[in-house]
Structure 1
Amino acid sequence: MTERGLWLGPDNRVAHRDDLATFVERALRLDDAAVIRLRARPNGMVVAWVATGFDVLACRVVAGRLAPADLSAGADALLPNLRAMAPDGHVDPGFAMDSGWRGVLPPDTGFVHLDDVPARAVLGLAQRGASLAKEHSGAHGPPASLLDQEVLDVASADDSVGIPMRCVLALTAMDFLPQAPSRDRFDPEGVSPDEVVRVRVTPTWLRVDARFGSVYRRRGDPAIVLR
């Protein structure tokens, strides 16, 4: 019987463990019942996915191997097991939670680069969005009209896309931008003026890449609701 689990590394396995643990910890901060989906890539990398609660997916890529090649785990079980990683890099993902993941994942390939956006501009939008969300939120959180508002238009010669506030808030909620620790999460001055986020698309998906992770949103309606 093939052993089930995640093996990080082999190079810099502690760094990969810490990267993944940080990702899982942030997912739990958004949802204490978060489910993490782990998926192996053929190049010796593993992608960790989570539904952020904004109808936006977030992911982080680490080096490692996975058995089976696609599994889901509870974030609350995965986090302590990451901290208890074995010397060979093995991590027990805990009980299988495959039934806890709904919806599809975006493809690994086929994304076309549209343009880069200054990270400071993204943080400025997040700052305004967080303020409006706090002002107008009800019992069920921020209104959909605020989250669906397209706050950035990004275009190339062949395509264009509007980036909704959902993606901006998901990116900052997962702390994917390299901000100074002394700064507020939404402070544009907390990130280098040279830092950018990269916008890529397929006909059906929008992808925004930042230094420490990526967020994905289904293009068009209806959105893919995962949990």
Structure 2
Amino acid sequence: MVISDQRVLSVPDPAERENLATFLTRAQRLDPAAVVRLRRRGSGLVAAWVTTGFEALATRTVAAELTVDDVTADADTVLVGLSAAGPIDLGYSLDSAWRGALPPDQGFGHIDDLPARTLVELAERGADLAKEHGSEHGPPASLLDQTVLTVSAGEVRVQVPMRVVFALTAMDFIPHAGDRAGAEQIAPDELVRVRASTTWLRLDARYGSVARRRTGGLSLTPTTGS
């Protein structure tokens, strides 16, 4: 087999192969033509990034080796490769298919930990509103851009829009009992961590993270005292 320009992904651990396959399968539910951006994260780790359709990115890090620092590949190609043992030929580079920058690996501060149930409940209420007021093009932008949570740490306040909550639940990053991630299926002590930098917001759940650049009304501003 001829490897395409040495763009090769190796995921030797079967459990990690399954983790990445699950992540990509969920991405394909949101976009059947999904691409995945793979980036090295230190020794023996690779971060996989996908878009979600909510102007937010989703990511999961797995134990793996990548022969290049950063590459965008067809998600289906990676999925097919994960179904068999051995290194995965990523095929031709699809770097031009990726739009926008990735958030930095460093520079995020811990803002707060939120009950996962709260986020799922917000997503459920948002989905009901989307059915009522949406169109064939999806939920209205006014709903997606709405701030549904404001969290703070010290003098820093972060607004969380519905877009990010929808992205988190659409990727099924919160563990739950049964087939459906309803609020009643979420353990009461399951948490989602809110982190932020001066330019990005990130929600970290057990099975992955979502991130969104500070646009569309998202703010990260110090509060002022009286």
**Residue type at the aligned position of 1:213:** G
Aligned counterpart in structure 2 of residue 145 of structure 1, from 135, 139, 142: 142
Q: Is the counterpart of residue 109 in structure 1 residue 81 in structure 2? A: no
1:130-183 CA-to-partner distances (Å, cap 9, x unmatched) read 11112211132111000000101110103111110001110010000001124x
2: CA distance, partners of 1:134 / 1:93:
38
Partner of 1:8: 11
Distance 1:164 1:222, change over 3 A: closer
The Cα of 1:222 is off from its aligned counterpart by 8.2
Unmatched 5+ stretches in structure 2: 219-226
Structure-2-length-normalised TM-score: 0.91
**Residue type at the aligned position of 1:35:** V
Aligned counterpart in structure 2 of residue 195 of structure 1, from 180, 190, 195: 190
Give the SS at the match of 2:16.
Answer: helix
- Asked if structure 1 preserves the Cα contact closer than 8 Å seen for 2:145 and 2:216, the reply is no
Partner of 1:206: 201
Unmatched 5+ stretches in structure 1: none
Partner of 1:69: 69
The Cα of 1:95 is off from its aligned counterpart by 2.7
1: CA distance, partners of 2:69 / 2:112:
32
Aligned pairs, number: 215
Give the SS at the match of 1:96.
Answer: coil
Q: Give runs of ≥4 in structure 1 deviating > 3 Å.
A: 220-223
**Residue type at the aligned position of 1:19:** N
Q: CA RMSD in A?
A: 1.6
Partner of 1:22: 22
Q: Is the counterpart of residue 129 in structure 1 residue 136 in structure 2? A: no
Partner of 2:156: 159
The Cα of 1:221 is off from its aligned counterpart by 4.2
1:28-76 CA-to-partner distances (Å, cap 9, x unmatched) read 0000111100000123210000010000000000011111110111112
1: CA distance, partners of 2:56 / 2:125:
19
Give the SS at the match of 1:122.
Answer: helix
Q: Is the counterpart of residue 59 in structure 1 residue 68 in structure 2? A: no
- Asked if structure 2 preserves the Cα contact closer than 8 Å seen for 1:78 and 1:94, the reply is no
The Cα of 1:97 is off from its aligned counterpart by 1.0
Partner of 1:168: 165
2: CA distance, partners of 1:80 / 1:132:
37
1: CA distance, partners of 2:60 / 2:9:
15
Query: Which deviates more, 164-173 or 131-140?
Result: 131-140
**Residue type at the aligned position of 2:203:** V
**Residue type at the aligned position of 2:128:** S
**Residue type at the aligned position of 1:145:** S
Counting aligned pairs with the same residue, the percent is: 55
2: CA distance, partners of 1:142 / 1:221:
16
